[in-house]
A and B are shown apart, each in its own frame.
Chain A
Amino acid sequence: MKLLDSLRFRIAALFRRSQMNAEVEEELRSHIQHRADDLERSGLDRAQAERRARIEFGGQAKFKEECHEAFGSNFIGTFVRDVRYSLRVLRKSPGFAIAAVLTLALAIGANAVVFGVLNALILRPLNVPQAESLYAVGRGSDRSMSQPYQSYPDYIDLRDRNRSFDGLAVYNISQAGLDTGEHPTPVWLNEVSGNYFDVLGIQPYLGRLIHSSDEHGPNSAPYIVLTYAYWHSHFQDDRGAVGRTVQINKHPFTIIGVTPAGFHGTLLFFSPDFFVPIVDQEQVDGWNGLDARGTRWVFQTIGHLRAGVTPAQAVADLNSIGSYLEKTYPKDDSKVDFSVARPSLAGDFLGGAIRAFVTGLMLLAGLILLAACANLGSLFAARAADRSREVALRLALGSSRVRILRQLFTEAVLISLAGGAIGLWGSVVLLRWLAVWQPFPEFPMNIPVSPDANVYGVALLLALASGFLFGAVPVRQVLRTDPYQIVKSGSTGKVGRRMTVRDVLIAVQIAICAVLVTSSMVAVRGLVRSLHSNLGIEPRDAMLVETDLRMAHYSADEEPAMQRRMIDAMKTIPGVTSVGLVDSPPLHMGWSLSPVYTDTTTDLRRANAAAPVIVFGISPDYFCAASTTLLSGRTFTWHDDKDAPRVAVINQEFARKIFGSVTNAMGRYYKIEDGTRIQVVGIVEDGKYTANLAEDPQPAMFLPILQSPSSETWLVVRSNGDPQQLVAAIRTKLRDLDTGLPSFIQTWNEEMNGALFAPRMATASLGILGGMGAMLSITGIFGMAAYSITKRQKELGIRMALGAQRKEVLQAALGRPFKLLAYGSTAGLLLGILASRVLASIVYQATPRDPLVLGGVVLAMMLLGLVAVWIPAQRALSIDPAKLLREE
């Protein structure tokens, strides 16, 4: 408070300065007049008296200045003068000013962007009332293994038996065909429990929301609630939309309301188009999961903790329900440890990795800023050394050291604020673009990274902090200046042989940059390798046609025939070499896991399962279309149908895990969840299946689509023709078959963007940071080399005059920068290798112990050094000793 008052007083004083000046002047004049009156009384005439009075009084200007000082109005006055002076000084060396501002702009910009993402994904609470007490329930206490999925009956038990939550709600992410009168389009939606909006405390923007009272058993609540965004973009803000009837998968639903504008559900990166009651799940998904206790398909269970209940108490409560479930439903529920976590990043499911990555990125960005500060600090120290004569002169003339330091700091902060402003501007542009970015064409992303006050605040803080940080480097130098020595001997001074603060700063900066370069190289190599690793499929030259027959309301009986017709139709397209069908392609977001049992297992409870296995339903030609190598046995034929014995093709990992070895597995039997015995008829190579290239080999089984039917239909169309024409041809064929079937066509490579998203993002961000690090080390080394050559021009000139060879001159001039580069790079490389262990968890096959990476880093740092010292070296060589010595 006191500080604020004083500041206000000073600012007011600043504005009153001219008025105050007049007042002080009048007061002093009045004093002199009074004195003159007295002198006049003692016998002098008026003119003489006034003259005498003025002389007695002394230097008016000095006292006036002292009055201002005493009144406190000088603080800001001095500041303004410092700013003006700094601007003048900086204008005199525009190269330095621009380089410094740009360096900081980049560093602060990078920090602001990363912080913007960190803020949006981790720091900022969800846009729902009381977000701080909102938790999601996960299965599995181990952070990395925690899964959000529950089965619906389990959810009902959790909802009704827990004593820790003010109501538990669930939602599931689903896709359906929506027909608003034109043609059906695939849309993304949330299936929500009746209490969903009430648990979250969301009020409708229009109409009403879904409530528990709407639920009367399966398919009993044909209502949908639109999100504001979807209502805005697809219903053009038409208030009459509420009450309208639309078709979801050809079932009539009534729009009953619209959610408020800021509400996108509780997942940060997904924004659904609308909400439907989960009791209508059968109509939306085409199968009934409401009674399947063993099928965990409901994405997330969320609720507010009761007041006074800690997360640990809630977990204990949930676990007691877990053991009840295990006892009551041994067939479906095995032992489970529950966990609770923030719902916004799907609990720990994705949150763990995202948090680790963004935090790591923030650290690296901080390092960049630190490197930039080290860079600028050494530049400032160099400048201060150059200006030591000026400083000495000012000190000799009676200026205080504090005053000089204040001026130097003003200069530093001016630069950092300018850099901060430019960096922030750039980051705001980038963040705004990120906020509307849609990396996956078929998946509605919502990355709410628009900058807010926090981002602006952090950028300002960073700017000020870095200004003071690099401004502080020359402080010691100024404090130790001995004005008499310097004025006497001139500023050339001695050529320092020992390591100075500046040298250490440069070495530190190079080390930091080497860390960044190393990590970005490790990441890039990892990505390149994972792209070339064996995926078990060949995405090149393959087109994926995604559709779901339930969206066009096919019955389960009609589906196989329709799928067969689709495959046959694709085969007639010229250039198509093979066509396969799969219910969900590998490396797609939606894989399904199912437990399998050895043939001898009789008690089919979950705990006795041999392994959870990824399941694919495929058509006979799928392996051919996907280019998956069949190692032994046979693939399916259209005769592997409902009436034929159940068969499967398994991968090598499955064979190893269940049957011990690949050779052992052929012809053997195993059991699936419902107890059906299945015979292994073929074995294929291992591949990558989940949407994560970093996965370890997973057991997988492929079942004939006729024996394990699914309405989800992905056609793999391999062709050697032009993709554009192929898309058009596929579309025509599909329309000929059914005009009302919504579909999505893309190349397999495009579809795999999802799986590659995380490593690509990691690589891109690390690449950018690495590039910035490289740039900073160039400017750092360049600055130092150029400076040392300017300083030692005379010495070098003399050496050349005495007959030194070019090589010796270069060695004398640039030996030191290179030595620093070597020290810094080595330290950075070692640190980078340590840091890269973290990377390995995100980027598949990222290993720092890769000769190519090590060599690459060394080469890169050497190249950077060469580039950086090229111009200074030229300057050193072009020194003309005759001219130089004449000038001195």
Chain B
Amino acid sequence: MTDQAQLLPGTLDLLILRAVSLGPLHGYGVLLRIGQISGNALLIEQGALYPGLFRLVRQGLLKASWGTSENNRRAKFYELTAAGRKRLREETDSWNRLATAIASALSQQSEEA
């Protein structure tokens, strides 16, 4: 557990969008999927996921519907809307730009020092 990274503020939404972009998921599924695609490197508080999901639904980026899970239980499934897909693209681009910029900034600093 100790080698898991704390989530940067604001990145949870991006991760949720990314997780759901691969196919409709219920809440617990989103959690598992994030763990899977991040190689279990990120720590996400289970309960904190839900306010994020609700926020994205309200912004119209996700849509939710009740269905039956693989465990044969009732669960609410989330999938991306068109707006959500567009937002995911934009956020991914801007994240990549930011990450590149920061990475290059940090590497330059270490050379000088």
Binding site for B on A (CB under 8 A): 9, 23-24, 26-28, 30-31, 33-35, 37, 56-60, 62-63, 66-67, 69-72
Contact = CB atoms under 8 A, between A and B. Distances in A.
A30 B28 contact: yes
Given A30-B76, A34-B71, A67 B26 contact: no
Contacts of B104: none
Interface string B29-51: 10000000000000001111011
Interface stretch (B15-23, B54-62, B89-97): B54-62
B52 A56 contact: no
Contacts of A37: 71, 73
Interface residues of B, number: 21
A457 to B, nearest CB: 33
B75 interface: yes
Contact of B69 (A34, A35, A60, A69): A34
A71 B46 contact: no
12 contacts: A28-B47, A30-B26, A30-B27, A31-B26, A31-B27, A34-B26, A37-B71, A57-B46, A58-B47, A63-B50, A67-B54, A71-B57
B74 interface: yes
Nearest to B30: A31
A35 B47 contact: no
Given A28-B50, A63-B50, A58 B45 contact: yes
Given A30-B26, A60-B47, A70 B76 contact: no
Given A30-B28, A34-B28, A71-B58, A24 B50 contact: yes
A56 B46 contact: yes
Contacts of A56: 46
B51 A69 contact: yes
Contacts of A58: 45-47
B113 to A, nearest CB: 41
Contacts of A33: 71, 73
Nearest to B74: A30
Contacts of B46: 31, 35, 56-58
Given A57-B47, A58-B47, A60-B47, A30 B75 contact: yes
Among the interface residues A34, A37, A71, which one has the most CB atoms of the partner chain B within 10 A?
A: A34
A171 B69 CA distance: 86
Among the interface residues B29, B46, B47, B75, which one has the most CB atoms of the partner chain A within 10 A?
A: B47
A66 B50 CA distance: 8
Nearest to A60: B47
Lowest 8 CB-CB distances: which A-B pairs, in order? A63-B47, A66-B51, A34-B28, A70-B55, A70-B54, A70-B51, A71-B54, A30-B75
B75 A62 contact: no
A11 to B, nearest CB: 14
A690 B73 CA distance: 95
Nearest to A68: B54
A59 B47 contact: yes
Contacts of B26: 30-31, 34
A71 B64 CA distance: 13
B58 A31 contact: no
Given A28-B50, A58-B47, A70 B58 contact: yes
Contacts of B57: 71
A397 B57 CA distance: 31
Contacts of B74: 26, 30
A778 B45 CA distance: 60
A69 B50 CA distance: 11
Contacts of A9: 58
Contacts of A30: 26-28, 69, 73-76
Given A26-B74, A27-B75, A63-B51, 7 more contacts: A30-B28, A30-B75, A31-B28, A34-B69, A34-B75, A71-B54, A72-B58
Among the interface residues A26, A56, A57, A63, which one has the most CB atoms of the partner chain B within 10 A?
A: A63
Among the interface residues B46, B48, B69, B73, which one has the most CB atoms of the partner chain A within 10 A?
A: B46
A70 to B, nearest CB: 4
Contacts of B75: 27, 30, 34
Contacts of B29: 34
Nearest to B46: A57
B47 A27 contact: no
A28 B57 CA distance: 16
A58 B69 CA distance: 23
A58 B47 CA distance: 7
A66 B46 CA distance: 13
A446 to B, nearest CB: 56
Contacts of B58: 9, 70-72
Nearest to B56: A70
Contact of B73 (A34, A66, A72): A34
Contacts of B50: 24, 27-28, 31, 63, 66-67
A59 B45 CA distance: 11
A613 to B, nearest CB: 82
A31 B26 CA distance: 8
A518 B2 CA distance: 79
A35 B28 contact: yes
